[in-house]
Amino acid sequence: MTLTVRGLTVRYGEVLAVRSVDLSVPDGGVLALLGPSGCGKSTLLRAVAGLEAVARGRVCWDGVDLAGTPVHRRAFGLVFQDGQLFPHRTVAGNVAFGLRMAGADRAVRDARVAELLELVGLAGYERRRVTQLSGGEQQRVALARALAPRPRLLLLDEPLSALDRELRDQLAVDLARVLTETGTTALVVTHDHDEAFTLADQVAVMSEGQIRQVDGPERVWRRPADERVARFLGCSRLVSATVRDGWAESVLGRVRVPGDVPDGAVRLGLRASAVRVTRADRGGGTDVEASGEVLRRVHQRDHVRLLVRVADVGEVQASTPFAGVPEVGERVRLTLDPDAVAVLAG
Ligand code: ADP
């Protein structure tokens, strides 16, 4: 029960939206296609669904080429950003739609609808009109509708993007639980790395129509395959470093790196919170720490962002908690937070 895509290319006239992509999703696996807007994620998902013509390559299920299989015969479920529910039907009418198409009798439909609504946290909503639901509830109904006929693959295209941040985080956790509990094999498109990491066990990072890395969430976050992946995942600055025995040494100081990073030259990708600052007058400095002078301070929601001038390096963004924020002009010591540092090949 595996989806495999080989050498898939999709064009819109002159635009190569998907370029020779290979990927596979094993039974029960959840793969996220993650990348910036316009990189070809939706096109790839739509080609898997059978909604876009394939210029080259193959989409196979269990080794069988689906080229001749139309959308409705692929037994794939689809969930889009804006639910696309039937506005004139009740919640139950929406969820039962695929079951009705498959010829399930009424008792079976009703039982399955109740089961699905329970699963997505909307038990008892059968008779509600979908136009009376919040955006989050509508997406839950869309998910229940897609899962009701037990699709062999669920395709989700930015399923949470239309919701506001807090609701999105909650629904992502719920969606991950539903996918796990039902053992659903899924391909999910998102531009949001938090969402990808919450939902997926494998993340495929895309850029300009190509997949640049496929790995587990933690590996993608800590060991991005190249500079483009690192920058997309928030590493705004790269510095050279040398690894020895699990420690990387750079002009900005020393930091622990994952144990499987071999000794030798690497680059460190620094995220916004990677460089931490302590006041130089607070003792305990070591010769492996960098130091600098505070040039500017900006208060943010949960920390203070500093611009620090470091000799031989230049201006460096750093962060510090509200308590004891150093003054402009003060000397500070820098430390690197291993959780906010990625390691790239040198
Ligand atoms: P993503 O989902 O990553 O935002 P898309 O797959 O929607 O990216 O788009 C990939 C590229 O294909 C973009 O350059 C986009 O402008 C182009 N594109 C998408 N859909 C069409 C279309 N129907 N006609 C022409 N170009 C399209």
Of 87, 93, 79, 9, the residue nearest 44 (C-alpha):
9
Q: What pLDDT score was predicted for residue 279?
A: 81
Would you say residue 288 has pLDDT above 70? Answer: no
Q: Does residue 42's CB lie within 6 angstroms of at least one atom of ligand 1?
A: yes
The span from the CA of 155 to the CA of 168, in Å, is: 18
Average pLDDT over residues 124-138: 95
Q: How far is the CA of 59 from the centre of ligand 1 (A)?
A: 19
**254 with 287: CB under 8 angstroms?**
no
Chain centre to alpha carbon of residue 281: 41
**Ligand 1 pocket member 43 (CB < 6 A):** yes
**The predicted structure's pLDDT at residue 293:** 96
- Rounded distance between C-alpha atoms, residue 103 and residue 112, angstroms: 13
Please say whether the beta carbons of 235 and 270 come within 8 A.
yes
Is the pLDDT reported for residue 280 higher than 80?
Answer: no
With a 6 Å cutoff on the Cβ, whether 131 touches ligand 1 is no
Measure 24 CA to ligand 1 centroid, in angstroms: 22
Task: Spell 74-105 as b/e; 16+ CB within 10 A means b.
Answer: bebbbbbbebebeeeebbbbbbbbbbeeeebe
Grouping H, G, I as helix, E, B as strand and the rest as coil, residue 343 is strand
* Confidence category of residue 72, pLDDT binned at 50, 70, 90: very high
Distance 39 CA to ligand 1 centre (A): 7
What pLDDT shows up at residue 284?
56
Burial pattern 249-275, b for ≥16 Cβ within 10 A else e, equals ebebbbbebeeebeeeebbbbbbbbbb
Residue with tokens 């939706």: 42
- The pLDDT tens digits of the residues spanning 21-42 come to 999 999 999 999 999 999 999 9
The contacts of residue 327 (CB under 8 Å, 6+ apart) are 294
Distance between CA atoms of residues 315 and 335, nearest Å: 15
Distance CA 251, CA 267 (A): 11
Cβ of 25 less than 6 Å from ligand 1: no
Considering the entire predicted model, what is its pTM?
A: 0.92
As a whole number, mean pLDDT of residues 213-236 equals 97
Q: Is the CB of 12 under 6 A from ligand 1?
A: yes
Ligand 1 contact via 138 beta carbon (within 6 Å) = no
Candidates 12, 37, 206: which one to mutate for ligand 1, based on the most atoms within 8 Å of Cβ? 12
Task: Pick from 43, 195, 208 the residue to mutate for probing ligand 1's pocket: most ligand atoms within 8 Å of its CB.
Answer: 43
Amino acid (1-letter code) at residue 284: G
Give the DSSP letter string of 42-54: HHHHHHHHT-S--
Average pLDDT for 92-101: 95
Ligand 1 neighbourhood includes 190 CB (under 6 angstroms) = no
CB atoms within 10 A of CB 13: 6
**Beta-carbon count within 10 A of 57 CB:** 18
pLDDT > 90: percent of the chain: 89
Which of residues 233 and 283 earns the better pLDDT score? Answer: 233
Confidence check: pLDDT of 126 > 70: yes
Give residue 16 CA to ligand 1 midpoint distance, Å. Answer: 9
CA of 12 to the centre of ligand 1 (A): 8
